[in-house]
Amino acid sequence: MLKKMVVMSLPILLFTQLSAYDLKSNMIQLGAELAQIQKSFIASDQEGVEDSIKNFSKHAQELLGNKDSFSAMLPKDKRYKASEAVMSAQIISHNVKIILDAIENKNNQSGIVRREESQRAYTYIEHACFRCHNIVRDEY
């Protein structure tokens, strides 16, 4: 009987550990992609900003955009906080659009204005990431 219970609970334990690892590895990936965006801004590499913001946006939406899949990666006592991830995904998406619009000069602005607006949008993306991370991770 005990052996049967251990065998039946093993997949649940493994899934829980893998989900936590998956979330952590995804957060590490998003952090690296944010760093690449920042490096591209500092280097005034417009193509690099465009490529890296698109990569980041795609991965952020895949991870944060679906409440149910994100909730499944959280510990049971924090699953109710998954809506914070969805809100962060929406903020990220909005600010990615601002950056891409600046790159395409959709609002017919000078280069300095476009660069400053897109860099401000980048800081809003960082803030959305930190806010979600702090709410989901921390106990207070």
Q: Average pLDDT across each block of 10 residues of the chain; the chain has 140 residues. List them in order.
A: 47 43 81 95 94 95 90 88 91 96 92 93 95 76
We find that the CATH architecture of domain 2-137 is Up-down Bundle (1.20)
Structural domain boundaries in the chain = 2-137
Containing 28, the helix (H) or strand (E) segment is: helix 2-42
pLDDT at 7: 43
pLDDT at 9: 47
Q: Give the integer Cα–Cα distance in Å for 91 and 139.
A: 23
pLDDT at 139: 63
Is the whole model's pTM more than 0.85, yes or no? Answer: no
pLDDT at 140: 54
